[in-house]
Amino acid sequence: MKICLIRPPILCPKSHPIVQMTPPIGLAYVAGSLRDAGYEVTVIDGLAESFDTRHNWGEDCYLYGLSIEQILDGIDETTDVIGVSAAFTFEWPVCRELIKQLRERFPNVRLIGGGEHITALPELSMEETPLEVGVLGEGEEIVINLVKAFEANETDLSKIGGIVYRNEQGDIVRNERHNRIRELDDIPRPAWEYLPIEQYLDRGFGFGVTRGRSMPVIASRGCPYQCTFCSNPKMWTTRWVVRSVDNMLDELEYYQKTYGAQNFDFYDLTAIVKKTWIVEFCEKIEQRRMKFTWQLPSGTRSEAIDDEVSQLLYKSGCRNLSYSPESGSPTVLARIKKKIKTEAMLTSLRSTVNAGMNIKLNIMFGFPGETYKEIRESFKFICQMAWAGGHDLSIWAFSPYPGSELFDQLYKEGKIKMDDAYYDDLRSYSDMSRCKSFSEHIDNKTLMRLRWLGTVLFYGVGWLRRPWRPFRMVWNGFTGRHESRSDLVITSLLRRMKLVKKSKEAG
């Protein structure tokens, strides 16, 4: 069978300083499984195949990449199965429109979708689109089972775990979940050869700070914690599984030889859970005499990172990592089930800074029930993190993500309506010019001001303690040498200004 997988173009608010252009590693994994199963696979990357093109989407957003019409034109007419990746809920309006037009253009093709949005909202995703099947959770094994059923012309899909589908009567049916993949070493490597990966590598695009030719990798899946704002339990369950160190390093070595990779961005939800694993990983990098930089841009737990581990991380090439304490208020941390201790976090932060790494920190304001007193506690913690040496801080507005405990709670209370305004609000989670508060004690405008105040406090205290940093940041931003997230923001703003100028000249 001929199978075409599609990564849609990305939506980004016009006010955002950074357009996150990252290789679609989930889609590459599914393509790798299909490749190794012997199927003919093509992949259309709706972003990378036209990085510098943007289209207006409504009044406030740009659509970066190929137009929907260009994607349709790029599909072979003899394709049997089309799979669409719906990775992020805030991009669902684009995915939804793409799926509708795919069905109109290819009425007889088997049309499937997958990703975190469809996993979190399977019935709604089916109701809003002409999808035939939705894949829930990890897709590598499920997609193979599904394609085999298509090959055999099976009409009864009730025995395939991990899908939502329309039965012969047209009813939407959700099957039981497919078992989690426990042996990550056995999963085929991502099929980057089917994607324009060189486009990302040549531009240094990735999830982390730009440090040369950056490849995305995953060492573990799942997270053992159950934070109420996170959709991880729905997508991955709370089982944390990790690859063997040698299997991980073999893949990195392959990418160095094949693609000239210089840096690796780990997309793990929680990469460092077991101290023994990360110590072995760092030590074997040295034993193999491998030279590269690597980053943990998604965030990681601090419990296993002490002075010893910090030194090993830096020596092995780790230059950037993120901590996500989310709040400095013990009351809020307990309410959102974020099992951290702020003092322990500060101790770990000092260790990583002293070792030479650049640290980004993430805080959220606007949780349901959050009070001014709790915000003040977070302000104090923000100042402590700045004084301890944190390099960058993002203060996000809490956004109820489908699949999370808080989303379910707010939806039941009638505080969320699943319309396009909701998706617009999700896209504004990092927008410092607007945000929506879900706290009954703090209104939208006040929340925006509090985010600005917290940001000013962090950089003010940090630069007072280390006055050379702002000058270095500006220099790095203009020269394109990135060490911290702030450097990347400056370069992205300059790139965006050039793109605006180019658009005006062309138009």
| C-alpha to C-alpha distances, 460 to 243, 376, 383, 486, nearest whole angstrom | 41, 17, 9, 14
H-only helix segments in 356-468: 372-388, 405-412, 420-427, 444-465
Locus of tokens 């829930």: 136
- Joined together, the tokens standing for residue 12 give 């980004």
Our CA angle for 161, 167, 168, nearest 5°, is: 145
pLDDT at 496: 65
Determine which helix (DSSP H) or strand (DSSP E) holds 162, and give its type and residue range.
Answer: none
pLDDT at 8: 96
Q: Residue 18 in contact with residue 492, Cβ under 8 Å?
A: yes
Domain locations in the chain as residue ranges: 2-174, 206-466, 470-507
pLDDT at 235: 80
Class of domain 206-466: alpha beta
Q: How far apart are CA 389 and CA 387, in angstroms?
A: 5
Q: How far apart are CA 446 and CA 189, in angstroms?
A: 47
Domain 2-174 matches domain 206-466 at the CATH topology level: no
Q: How far apart are CA 408 and CA 414, in angstroms?
A: 10
Our CA angle for 84, 256, 308, nearest 5°, is: 100
- Joined together, the tokens standing for residue 165 give 């589908």
Burial pattern 155-190, b for ≥16 Cβ within 10 A else e, equals eebeebebbbbbeeeeebeebebbeebeebeebebb
Half-sphere exposure of residue 111: CA atoms within 13 angstroms, side-chain side: 22
pLDDT at 506: 64
Partnered with residue 295 across adjacent β-strands are 265, 320
Tens digits of residue pLDDT in 404-436: 999 999 999 999 999 988 998 888 777 777 889
The residue type of 237 is T
Which string of DSSP letters, residue by residue, matches 70-116?
HHHHTS-TT--EEEEE---GGGHHHHHHHHHHHHHH-TTSEEEEESH
pLDDT at 12: 85
Residue ranges, the chain, pLDDT below 70 = 17-18, 495-507
Q: Residue 70 in contact with residue 50, Cβ under 8 Å?
A: yes
Closest CA to 70 of 96, 101, 92: 101
Locus of tokens 């993949």: 181
Tens digits of residue pLDDT in 269-324: 888 888 999 999 999 999 999 999 999 987 788 888 999 999 999 999 999 999 99
pLDDT at 501: 66
H-only helix segments in 209-325: 232-236, 245-259, 275-287, 307-316
pLDDT at 312: 97
Instruction: Just give the CATH number of 2-174.
Output: 3.40.50.280
Closest CA to 135 of 29, 37, 48, 41: 29
Pairing outcome for strands 172-174 and 214-217: unpaired
Closest CA to 188 of 20, 22, 41, 6: 41
pLDDT at 153: 94
Pairing outcome for strands 241-242 and 81-85: unpaired
Closest CA to 180 of 215, 230, 224, 123: 224
* Positive or negative: CA dihedral 270, 276, 279, 283: negative
